[in-house]
Amino acid sequence: MQWKLKSSPNPQKVKQLSATLQVETTLAKLLVQRGIETFDEAKDFFRPNLANLHNPFAMKDMDLAVNRIEKAIKNDENILIYGDYDVDGTTSVSLVSSYLKTFYPNVATYIPDRYDEGYGISFKGIDFAEDNDFSLIIALDCGIKAIDKVAYAFKKEIDFIICDHHRPGNEIPAAIAVLDPKREDCEYPYKELCGCGVGFKLIQALATNRNQTIDDLVEYLDLVAIAIAADIVPITGENRILAFYGLQVINQHPRNGIKAMIHQLKKKELTITDVVFIIAPRINAAGRIKHGNYAVELLTELDFETAVEFAGAIEKYNSDRKELDKSITIEALQQIEENGEKDNYTSVVYDKNWHKGVIGIVASRLIETYYRPTLVFTKSGDKLAASARSVKGFDVYNALEQCTEFMEQFGGHKYAAGLTLKEENYQNFKQKFEEVVKNTISEESRTPEISIDAEISLSEITPKFYRILNQLAPFGPQNMKPTFMATDLHDNGFGKTVGEDKTHLKLNIIEGVNQKTYHAIGFNLGNKLSLIQQKNTFKVAFCIDENHWNGYTSLQLVLKDIQKD
């Protein structure tokens, strides 16, 4: 691990903000690092307000979208809500369909089959709309590049409204309305909405048109918060407001489907991290193992007992998904070792029997062992399909672009992509990809990095410090949970490895001559035990969290890494 200490912000600004807010210098420093320099900016940050959401009609084509939906309602048309099979897609479909159904009955939903139709709008989905007399399709979290699909629908007299957040190509589909804040000709002030966020702006516009207020839409924000967390979009600006209130809904008045999942988990209060690692994988599991429709049924179910049944089924899919990704990861690691590829610049593995729904997760798992660009292939019809994942600072999309001679198609972005190729091209592709990465990756990108916000003394960690620190939540991209560094530490002599396989490290840290001890846990840091023995001095990178044990709550350091001082 390389530790990278963030550059210190302007000391005068830190001092001024510290005095204005009457908080410790470290906390003021964290705020200035996040672009918060005045009392008003701090107020907006610590007290997100729904009144600060932008006018939805500032988004290009929003008026056209609202007019077309109102026309469909007036003419008694059938409306199909279409979305992708991942968390962002299924929450978007659940959001828009459940809102429309509160005042209009002729609404149905459609999620494409991951294996039969693939990502995004499909010809099969449009044929389904024609066969069932749908004259308007609202596509969510997809469609910005579906030029041919929208043209195909137009010939069948089916109109499209596209709500997407992905970067458009050179041409915009000829839909009735294309809502996408990343359109170059869209002046909407916040560009980082997820697909469900764009869907929320659509229902906000419809609500405004129907003389409803933002208060009438708060109940839908649980879905938006889940999508924001799962899609790893920045938790800044409008996303921060939506996530903040969405978490309140999840914890206080969740819809039946979410309530049923929480009920199974027996957790009292969920954070954004819980949503990312507990709720999102379960929603995703439906599309990975069975079908995304199951997720939409769970998230829109009005009867709690039925929702509990759906949640039970999805829990089973998630268990199956866990077993699959665990077993496939073991097989993939064996393949790398047996092929003598441990020292390669890339990990590229293939087995025709691996489940297509989990190869992306497996690629991420492999990076935990071999920190390098990774592709996991499986058989898909008469071709091979792969999920690609990358490491910090390395653009895997650009690397794949240099291997196009061996691929059928590919798409994605800097850190994640997907591709297909003919089986006979696999070895040539693998060799070329290894060459490209070897020649272009920097040494820095080959070592995992811990970004450290500030170096502090452990004596600064008080209940008040933690309480204010917690108010920086919800955490996520561009507002990550603060990571600190402390030096001149030693263990009190009782540090030990814990856990079934002794992979974790538990210790009581003493700082310098200060005899106060600080509890610390280092998950998967059991191999660092020798560093803290014999009163060795060391330094740690850590976050601060609460430990709940036997009804007693205390602060603890959650270690990210330990190094010799």
- Which pLDDT score, from 0 to 100, does residue 565 have? 87
Let me know if residue 103 belongs to a domain.
Answer: yes
- Which pLDDT score, from 0 to 100, does residue 170 have? 87
Let me know if residue 24 belongs to a domain.
Answer: no
Helices (H), 370-514: 396-401, 426-440, 463-470
Q: Which residues contact 330 (CB under 8 A, 6 or more apart)?
A: none
Q: Do 366 and 395 fall into the same domain?
A: yes
Let me know if residue 42 belongs to a domain.
Answer: no
**What residues make up the domain containing 520?**
2-6+450-564
Helices (H), 441-555: 463-470, 529-532
Q: How many domains does the chain have?
A: 3
Q: Do 235 and 134 fall into the same domain?
A: yes
Residue whose C-alpha is closest to residue 518's, from 553, 470, 556, 489: 556
Residue whose C-alpha is closest to residue 201's, from 239, 247, 150: 239
- Which pLDDT score, from 0 to 100, does residue 80 have? 98
Last residue of a domain, one of 278, 313, 348: 313
Let me know if residue 324 belongs to a domain.
Answer: no
Q: Do 486 and 558 fall into the same domain?
A: yes
Cα-flanking dihedrals φ and ψ of residue 161, to 5°? Answer: -115, 125
Under 8 Å between Cβ of 446 and 372: yes
Query: Which CATH number goes with the domain that contains 549?
Result: 2.40.50.460
Q: Do 234 and 377 fall into the same domain?
A: no
Helices (H), 117-194: 123-131, 147-155
Let me know if residue 46 belongs to a domain.
Answer: no
Q: Do 441 and 455 fall into the same domain?
A: no
Q: Do 460 and 484 fall into the same domain?
A: yes
Burial-class residue 194 by CB neighbours within 10 Å (0-12, 13-18, 19+). buried
Query: Which CATH number goes with the domain that contains 381?
Result: 3.10.310.30
Q: Do 539 and 417 fall into the same domain?
A: no
Q: Do 178 and 73 fall into the same domain?
A: yes
Let me know if residue 14 belongs to a domain.
Answer: no
- Which pLDDT score, from 0 to 100, does residue 186 have? 97
Last residue of a domain, one of 296, 313, 330: 313
C-alpha dist (Å) from residue 90 to 110, 248, 301, 458: 9, 21, 13, 44
- Which pLDDT score, from 0 to 100, does residue 429 have? 97
Distance between CA atoms of residues 146 and 500, nearest Å: 50
- Which pLDDT score, from 0 to 100, does residue 235 have? 93
HSE-up of residue 208 (Cα within 13 Å, Cβ side): 16
Let me know if residue 437 belongs to a domain.
Answer: yes
Helices (H), 454-550: 463-470, 529-532
Let me know if residue 556 belongs to a domain.
Answer: yes
- Which pLDDT score, from 0 to 100, does residue 413 have? 74
Q: Do 271 and 395 fall into the same domain?
A: no
Distance between CA atoms of residues 258 and 310, nearest Å: 11
Last residue of a domain, one of 395, 418, 446: 446
Query: Which CATH number goes with the domain that contains 177?
Result: 3.90.1640.30
- Which pLDDT score, from 0 to 100, does residue 513 have? 72
Q: Do 290 and 163 fall into the same domain?
A: yes
Per-residue pLDDT of the chain (565 residues; tens, 9 = 90+): 899 999 989 999 999 999 999 999 999 999 999 999 999 999 999 999 999 999 999 999 999 999 999 999 999 999 999 998 889 999 999 999 999 999 999 999 999 987 788 778 999 999 999 999 999 999 999 999 899 999 999 999 999 999 999 888 889 999 999 999 999 999 999 999 999 999 999 999 999 999 999 999 999 999 999 999 988 888 999 999 999 999 999 999 999 999 999 887 777 789 998 998 889 999 988 887 788 889 999 999 999 999 999 999 998 988 988 999 999 999 999 999 999 999 999 999 999 999 988 999 999 999 999 999 999 999 988 999 999 999 989 999 899 999 999 998 887 778 888 899 999 999 999 999 999 999 999 999 999 999 999 999 999 999 999 999 999 999 988 899 999 999 999 999 899 999 988 999 999 999 977 678 999 999 999 999 999 988 889 999 999 998 888 878 889 999 999 999 8
Q: Do 206 and 127 fall into the same domain?
A: yes
- Using DSSP's 3-state secondary structure scheme, residue 443 falls into coil
Residue whose C-alpha is closest to residue 346's, from 389, 316, 309: 389
Q: Do 359 and 466 fall into the same domain?
A: no
Sheet holding 107-110: strands in order across? 107-110, 78-83, 134-140, 159-163, 177-179
